[in-house]
Structure 1
Amino acid sequence: MNKIINKDIFLGLNDIDNNSVDLIFIDPPYNLKKQYADNISDKWESQDSYLEWLFQWLEICLNKLKPYGSLYIMNTTQNMPYIDIYLQKKLHIKSRIVWAYDSSGVQAKRFFGSLYEPILFCTKNKSKYTFNSHDILVDTITGAKRKLVDHRKNPPTLYNEKKVPGNVWYFPRVRYLMPEYIKHPSQKPQILLERIVKASSNVNDTVLDLFAGTFSLGFVCNKLKRNYIGIELSSTYCKYALENLPNSILDK
């Protein structure tokens, strides 16, 4: 089932039972002054006021995780250090992931422009949590592509052809006219979301998506047979999800 909650984040979280969610994914507004559908603005008076707002709803959403649940959160390189320090006191940070991509736009002229977004992977329990490493294996350069032999072993053997991805992920951003493109200033690629869902949830688990935006995570969860709950303030984006995401119901 795909549940769409068309509400402000605080009201939407009130609809979610505590200890009921296996995986939470959070891609919030970054305070970059972007404009979303329905005249929703990504602008706060200051970074302090933005972080105060973020920590308020983040504190609430942590209660929604099951005892062995996981949480992923994205943000800017400027904001993430504050979020990292905050979550260190609440959860167990397992990985600090870099989502790297190329840019076709104009780059900085007097400093090194940012071509990545940080992602935190956190768990509620230090040692017991879902991590399906076998579902996210990737080819190795050493073994699968270069066919190198490890001569330290007796007898010498080829290096492994598969491995669990490291914490630097190379996925292209969603561009205009791509099949999954929806008009949104910060749409995330489904291939990135698919890795997260496969790794940190199982079939029939419940995945909570804060600031669902284009509901890309909902389409991934539907394909992978996870139960999905998306909270989104914009009625335009929610309408799109209702019309295109199978088995969707709306909670206004």
Structure 2
Amino acid sequence: MTKRTFNSGAITLVNADSLEYLKKIPDNSIDLVATDPPYFQVKQNSWDNQWDNSAEFLAWLDEMLCEFWRILKPNGSIYLFCGHALSADTEILMRSRFNVLNNIVWTKPSGPWNKARKSDLRKYFGSTERIIFAEHYGSEGYAKGNTGYAAKCAAARKEVFKPLIDYFRDAKNKLDIKAKDINQATGTKMCSHWFSDSQWALPSADNYAKLQALFKAKGEELQVNHAELADQYGELQKEYQELTASYDELKAQYQSLRRPFSVSKEVPFTDHWHFKSVQYYPGKHPCEKPAPLMEHIISSSSREGDVVLDAFGGSQSTGKACLKLGRKYIGIELEEETFDRSIAAFEELVKT
């Protein structure tokens, strides 16, 4: 049952049970799920101790994953936080519905382990959280739809790059140039990638210059008048800058169809992350995630204007990052007191 909602521009906050509300969200409508569900008996709060045992907790979590699978777009991503104790069990559940890409380890520089009596330990102290990063399966029989997401991507790629594929293939066919001539002239074995729609790739500037020289030489060998000659090998006379401009434009179209993912050397690009925990302040949520961590997830796996969902909003760190980065956001939170604080925080953010 939905108790209350808060809407401000691209931000929607919902005071409701997450599982119940997820069932109201349309299929294939969410670009990114970034969420931090209960870990089970890690916190003292009642919401983390509402199941009698881990089996009951995992059964509930699987229901959540079923809904995430349904509402996530075919090219969407999911980041699911989990505790170290049940991370293996959680990943097994995830793999039954999603293609797990990484089990990210978030190492914190400080925590309660610094005060632990080492002599009392009977196992290694858990000092990390895990973030399971996944996408939809792309193979036949698992992907959304009848043909499979990977097949759809391949078909889309072929269609998007068709103008350039035809440009190269038509020029080759007009002069009846053989694959061995192309490979010999360029010192590569890339003919099938440049002149067919199978795994098509744009030649480098250096190889394109070699291809132009080959096509010109072949054209001059033909016993035809100048007008016919120009028509036959003139197709490969485009400047490389013009070619790359067309390629970049078409590539942007293709990338918009694929699952977004973008990292660089300036941000964490391995599966081992180091982000400081949020320090205590009055009213702090016990599971609040640091802003830089959530901004990293959102900027890496979504595009501006995409819809991001957090089914366990808490302090709404995910929503605040979405507001900063220009994403649409849906945040679900069950506890009314926490929900009220979130509304107040967003009202202040919108003012500024």
Report the TM range for the smaller structure's normalisation: 0.7 to 0.9
Q: CA–CA distance in 2 between the matches of 1:124 and 1:47? A: 26
Post-superposition Cα deviations, 1:204-226, rounded to whole Å, max 9, x if no partner, equal 00000011111011100000000
Q: Which has the higher contact order (CA 8 A, sep 6+)?
A: 1
Correspondence for 2:36: 27
Q: CA–CA distance in 1 between the matches of 2:100 and 2:323? A: 27
The answer to whether the 8 Å contact 1:2/1:246 transfers is: no
Correspondence for 1:189: 290
Q: CA–CA distance in 1 between the matches of 2:300 and 2:137? A: 16
Change (3 A) 1:123 1:167: same
Q: CA–CA distance in 2 between the matches of 1:82 and 1:34? A: 19
Correspondence for 1:131: 261
The farther-off stretch of 25-34 and 107-116 is: 107-116
Tell me the percent identity. Answer: 31
Pair 1:76-2:83 in alignment: yes
Quote the offset at 1:133 in angstroms.
Answer: 2.1
The farther-off stretch of 75-84 and 122-131 is: 122-131
The farther-off stretch of 222-231 and 115-124 is: 115-124
Post-superposition Cα deviations, 1:164-197, rounded to whole Å, max 9, x if no partner, equal 62110001111113xxx74221111111111100
The total of aligned residue pairs comes to 216
List runs of 5+ in structure 1 lacking aligned partners: 139-162
Correspondence for 2:47: 41
Match of 1:55 among 56, 62, 81: 62
Correspondence for 1:120: 132
Pair 1:206-2:218 in alignment: no
Change (3 A) 1:35 1:234: farther
Matches within 5 A, 1:1-252: 1-32=10-41, 34-36=43-45, 40-43=46-49, 44-105=51-112, 106-107=115-116, 109=118, 110=121, 111-124=123-136, 126=138, 128-134=258-264, 137-138=265-266, 165-177=269-281, 182-246=283-347
Quote the offset at 1:242 in angstroms.
Answer: 1.6
Change (3 A) 1:230 1:108: farther
Higher alpha-carbon Rg = 2
Post-superposition Cα deviations, 1:65-88, rounded to whole Å, max 9, x if no partner, equal 011000000111121111211221
Q: RMSD of the alignment, in Å?
A: 2.1
Post-superposition Cα deviations, 1:15-68, rounded to whole Å, max 9, x if no partner, equal 3111000000120011125345xxx43102111111111111221121010110
Q: CA–CA distance in 2 between the matches of 1:116 and 1:164? A: 16
* Structure whose residues are more often helix by fraction: 2
The answer to whether the 8 Å contact 1:95/1:167 transfers is: yes
List runs of 5+ in structure 2 lacking aligned partners: 1-9, 139-149, 151-257
The answer to whether the 8 Å contact 1:27/1:74 transfers is: yes
The farther-off stretch of 226-235 and 83-92 is: 83-92
Query: Could you list the runs of 4 or more consecutive aligned residues of structure 1 that deviate by over 4 angstroms after TM superposition?
Result: none
Q: Could you tell me the TM-score, scaled by structure 1's length?
A: 0.79
Q: Could you tell me the TM-score, scaled by structure 2's length?
A: 0.58
What amino acid sits opposite 1:41 in the alignment? W
Change (3 A) 1:100 1:33: closer
Q: CA–CA distance in 2 between the matches of 1:108 and 1:229? A: 42
Give secondary structure in 2 for the equivalent of 1:63.
helix
Correspondence for 2:207: none
Post-superposition Cα deviations, 1:113-147, rounded to whole Å, max 9, x if no partner, equal 1111111110125464110224xx32xxxxxxxxx
The answer to whether the 8 Å contact 1:20/1:65 transfers is: yes
Change (3 A) 1:246 1:66: farther
What amino acid sits opposite 2:129 in the alignment? E
